[in-house]
Structure 1
């Protein structure tokens, strides 16, 4: 287990909420959610292993990442929290809830299902691995080089947030790209458990995203029988960034419903 980097917002003593980002991301990705929640909750935004400012490790799978989060809860004496995860972070959140249900009073999963997905980041990996960091002199150059592999400017901008300047003319990856690539199959894996998580769960789906589909309902309910779903129309996989007002409202309403039950 690793000691994860985190950032806290809100008043200590308010109901605690843990936020977990997705693949290639960091805690900054859920910054608008954290800011909105901090008015009424004690918010802990976490960098998962091999991401952001958290430690690097050659091993990476959902069991390890869930144990990292449980260690994080232990380190702050957080006996029970609500947890929100987006994409890969949603899978980590589900894994934590299944492994330590007594620690999680409610779960929000943003645009991901507990299933194995087919590999679909090949061009991203190819582009990131093709960048010769020693030869990059600016982010503009890195963006131009990456554009040969990744067409979408917004996706390139997101990915290159991992590129940090080390000297007057040097860059390095903040994420552990080699470990992420090596264990990509594990990141695509789904969740399984002999027992289900019986407490409230909200799945929030982007209306134009195909990460959660009707055929996933059976496996979702087998693991999370109290799960409900909300759909944000005209939003894709990055629903929290595309429709922040609606997303934050759904999150706050759900968390308050847990507190009042």
Structure 2
């Protein structure tokens, strides 16, 4: 029988998170009716075949991301594990519809319906950042739908987001309201908010160029809606000690990231008593910064699950 993972004793204490416990725990207010979004997705099949329905992996991106962010790692995992991988566009991202509200309850509801509508059996959920909290939410809401989760650089906490996300919203709103003539002008605006080229390039994956029917640069994502949802993205609508997922869970954190600080570890254990924690040499963008290291810890996790 698989043992319970409690890696606290072998951790080196790191700088505490600057964002931890700055918001009180609260349960998300019930929504009378949540309209389900039919999400866009890419299906990556194993090279030598394999069932699309049996034990697939469902991959979920972070805030301002899309299914294209996870194309490379999805193909790698499909090949190495002989499992199909569904890379999703969560609501208000990529090619999926725009819909209110943008909450973890709503996104979890979308994913649960996706699993049921596609008749997926015993899937694994992998999510980065915002997608990690979506994976956690599904696990705590509907544990019977899935077999395990991998949460990448996020924790089940109520904590303020870094200021950079609000800056991104301001920059994108400014670009959209300013009649920029080309991507160079758009980048000059964004550069005053975000100096790192890699992150600007990531954000620009959402920028749509002018077309014959629309002569303005505009964003694929609903910037205002997502900007208004930043507080929701900082929250976690579950109660420790009341909600739990007793199946395996892998938490992966970047060694140079503060999103999963050491003091969050006991709380992770309250929600996910069979969790395992692995560090990967990277910042918050774990998968893109160190795809080899990320794939390694994933394969180790799946190998142990198969052996137990």
What's the TM-score once normalised by structure 1's chain length?
Answer: 0.95
Q: Distance in 1 between matches of 2:268 and 2:176?
A: 42
CA-based RMSD: 1.5
Deviations 1:178-223 (A, max 9, x none): 1111111111102414231001111111011000011101210000
Aligned residue for 2:195, secondary structure, equals: coil
What's the TM-score once normalised by structure 2's chain length?
Answer: 0.81
> Which residue number corresponds to residue 276 of structure 2?
228
> Which residue number corresponds to residue 175 of structure 1?
221
Counterpart contact for 2:44–2:74, Cα < 8 Å:
yes
| Partner of residue 290 from structure 2, selected from 239, 243, 251 | 243
Label 1:254 to 1:191 Cα distance change in 2 as closer, same or farther (>3 A): farther
> Which residue number corresponds to residue 44 of structure 2?
9
Bigger Cα Rg: 2
Q: Distance in 1 between matches of 2:138 and 2:210?
A: 35
Deviations 1:100-153 (A, max 9, x none): 101110110101001112132222121111113561222222111111222211
Counterpart contact for 1:133–1:171, Cα < 8 Å:
no
Aligned residue for 1:209, secondary structure, equals: coil
Aligned residue for 2:73, secondary structure, equals: helix
Structure 1 unaligned residues grouped into runs of 5+: none
After superposition, residues 191-206 of structure 1 pair within 5 angstroms as: 191-193=237-239, 194-206=242-254
Q: Distance in 1 between matches of 2:161 and 2:299?
A: 33
Aligned residue for 2:151, secondary structure, equals: strand
After superposition, residues 1-261 of structure 1 pair within 5 angstroms as: 1-10=36-45, 11-13=49-51, 15-39=55-79, 40-120=82-162, 121-132=165-176, 135-167=179-211, 169-193=215-239, 194-233=242-281, 235-261=282-308
Q: Distance in 2 between matches of 1:81 and 1:119?
A: 29
Q: Highest relative contact order (Cα 8 Å, sep 6+), 1 or 2? A: 2
Counterpart contact for 2:55–2:122, Cα < 8 Å:
no
Counterpart contact for 1:22–1:86, Cα < 8 Å:
yes
Q: Distance in 2 between matches of 1:253 and 1:16?
A: 17
Structure 2 unaligned residues grouped into runs of 5+: 1-35
